[in-house]
Structure 1
Amino acid sequence: MEHPQVVDPRHPLVERVRSLCLALPEAVEVQAWGRPTFRAAKPIFTYVSAHMERPFSIVVKTDPDEHRALVQDDRFYGVPYFDRNHWVGTDLDAAHTDWQLLAELIETSYRQVALKRQLVALDAQRPGAEGSL
Structure 2
Amino acid sequence: MGRPRSLKLPNLAKLRRFCSSLPETSEKEAWGHPTFRAGAKMFASFGEYEEEATIGVKRSLDQQAQHLQDSRFYAPPYSGKQGWIGIRLSQVPWPEVEALVLDAYRQVALKRMLKALDSLE
* Count of residues in Structure 1 that have an aligned counterpart in Structure 2: 121
Report what 1:24 is aligned to.
22
Asked whether the equivalents of residues 60 and 83 of structure 2 are also in contact (C-alpha less than 8 Å), the reply is: yes
Q: Give secondary structure in 2 for the equivalent of 1:49.
A: strand
Distance 1:104 1:63, change over 3 A: farther
The one-letter code of the counterpart of 1:78 is: A
**Deviation (angstroms), 1:101:** 0.9
Is residue 77 of structure 1 aligned with residue 39 of structure 2? no
Is residue 45 of structure 1 aligned with residue 43 of structure 2? yes
Q: Give RMSD over aligned pairs.
A: 2.0
The one-letter code of the counterpart of 1:58 is: I
Percent identity at matched positions?
37
Residues of 2 paired with 1:7 and 1:29: CA distance? 19
One of 22, 31, 34 as aligned partner of 1:36: 34
Considering fraction of residues, name the structure with more strand.
Answer: 2
Pick the structure with greater CA Rg: 1
Is residue 125 of structure 1 aligned with residue 81 of structure 2? no
The one-letter code of the counterpart of 2:55 is: I
Considering fraction of residues, name the structure with more helix.
Answer: 2
Report what 2:103 is aligned to.
108
Superposition TM-score, scaled by structure 2 size? 0.86
One of 67, 84, 89 as aligned partner of 1:92: 89
Distance 1:4 1:43, change over 3 A: farther
